[in-house]
Amino acid sequence: MEAALRQLVPAIRSDLSFDIHPYQGKDDLLERLPRVLKGYAAWLPANSRVVVVVDRDDDDCVALKRSIDAMARRAGLAPKVRGGSRFQVMTRIAVEELEAWLLGDIAALVAAYPGVPQTLGSKRRFRHVDEIAGGTWEALEQVLQQAGYFAEGMPKIHVAREVAMRMEPARNRSPSFRTFRDGLMAL
């Protein structure tokens, strides 16, 4: 996620200054987040926002967002809610995983890995990238291996960086990516 976000945030909003604080997976993030948010509540400037980005994996998307928003409230921070204009914390969920965002821009994927067919997005399994069954990273790995890449296993960080640096946020077909993009645009 970090490798992709370092490429994507400036592509979406070049005027934002930002920092990324990675965690050792979703469980580590969710365990440490209440303390981190409490720390932010003590000093967060009025013109700053905290954006929490996490993979949905197998969780219920709505319940996961509610849980993170509740952590923000308990820390004394206002979460972004539908229709609300004043907030300090915005939660965005990558559905099912970051790899759906990468599969959401087939042109970027093909630019990074020219052996991938340009018609991939028209195949039934890849038409709705946030709904890919069986795991998006597994699906992406399979696509790349069928195209002749990474026979020994997909290096997730490398692939995330390579595809993200070629992405054009306006053409991404992943609904969860568009929600993330639109959230940043509205900041």
Q: Which residues of the chain have pLDDT under 70?
A: 84
Closest to 31 measured CA to CA, from 14, 54, 10, 13: 54
DSSP 85-126: ---SEEEEEESS-HHHHHHT-HHHHHHH-TTS-TTGGGSGGG
The pLDDT value given to residue 134: 81
The pLDDT value given to residue 106: 98
Return the half-sphere exposure (C-beta side, CA atoms, 13 A cut-off) of residue 106: 15
The pLDDT value given to residue 86: 86
| Domain positions in the chain | 2-98+175-186, 99-171
pTM for the structure as a whole: 0.93
Query: Using the 8-state DSSP alphabet, how is residue 131 labeled?
Result: G
The pLDDT value given to residue 84: 66
Separation of alpha carbons 5 and 19, rounded Å: 10
The pLDDT value given to residue 174: 97
Phi-psi region of 16 (alpha: psi -120 to 50; beta: other; left: phi over 0): beta
The pLDDT value given to residue 6: 96
